[in-house]
Amino acid sequence: MKLLMFRDGEASRLGVGRDGSTDEVIDVAAAANGAGPGVPATVLDVVDGGEAALERLRVLVASAPAGAVRPLAELTLLPPFDPPRGNVLAIGRNYQKHAEETARASNVEVGPPTIFTKAITTITAPYADIRIDPSVSSKIDWEVELGVVIGRRGANIKRQDVAAQVARTPASGLRVVQVKSGEGITLLPSASPTTSSWPRSCSRSACSASS
């Protein structure tokens, strides 16, 4: 199930990608049409509601009237989480080939992955403009990353249990994230929030939830 948020006038609304279509979205509020309390209004509502919320969406989507179907191309997409409940946790040099390429470019030994955070102010919508400050950096790069949404709290999770923690979590999912960075900022020795949190530089697409 593919979830997204979109703008409708001054309001934000939850949408579900229509099965069998890549360019149509079910407007959840329109599909519910006064169906009563408990209808998720945001992606976070779905995360919090877990399997019960996903089942509610399945029922609504399966019986959605034609008037609830919206062309994707006509929607103004919003970030799935705006804001998220905490900073974005990021891992730089997260696969061996990239780590080796980075080391060769700097003529240094291959180092371990770098773990850092991005503040919630870095989140922006797909296709949204990003302000660039030339006084900070004039060499802007971008990368496409895999983002993971985890709906269940956890700590000290054992390595062998990680896959189950992510894959079996109700309303967890994967999404595509495009990250912008400026040369000379994120390569500082200390990956502090200031060095990696360019405002509105992390563009997020729809969230694919477990179904």
| Contact in structure between 51 and 1 (CB atoms under 8 Å) | no
Domain final position from 78, 97, 129 = 78
Quickly tell me which residue has 């503040």 as its tokens: 119
| Contact in structure between 184 and 173 (CB atoms under 8 Å) | no
Beta strands in the chain (DSSP E): 2-8, 11-17, 24-27, 69-71, 76-78, 88-92, 114-118, 123-124, 140-149, 173-182, 202-204, 207-209
Residue 171 placed within a domain: yes
pTM over 0.85: no
Based on the fold, state whether residues 116 and 67 are members of the same structural domain.
no
Residue 166 placed within a domain: yes
Residue 108 placed within a domain: yes
Strands 2-8 and 207-209: antiparallel
Q: What gap in Å lies between CA 171 and CA 22, rounded to an integer?
A: 21
Q: How many domains are there within the chain?
A: 2
Based on the fold, state whether residues 100 and 126 are members of the same structural domain.
yes
Based on the fold, state whether residues 106 and 132 are members of the same structural domain.
yes
Residue 83 placed within a domain: no
The per-residue pLDDT string of the chain (211 residues; one tens digit each, 9 = 90 and over) reads: 889 999 998 899 999 999 888 899 999 999 998 766 779 999 989 888 888 888 999 999 999 999 999 999 999 999 988 778 888 888 888 888 888 988 898 899 998 888 888 888 888 888 888 888 888 777 777 778 888 877 777 788 888 887 766 655 555 566 667 765 655 555 444 444 444 555 555 555 555 444 4
Query: Residue 33 is part of which domain span?
Result: 2-78
Tell me what pLDDT residue 210 has.
Answer: 44
Based on the fold, state whether residues 184 and 124 are members of the same structural domain.
yes
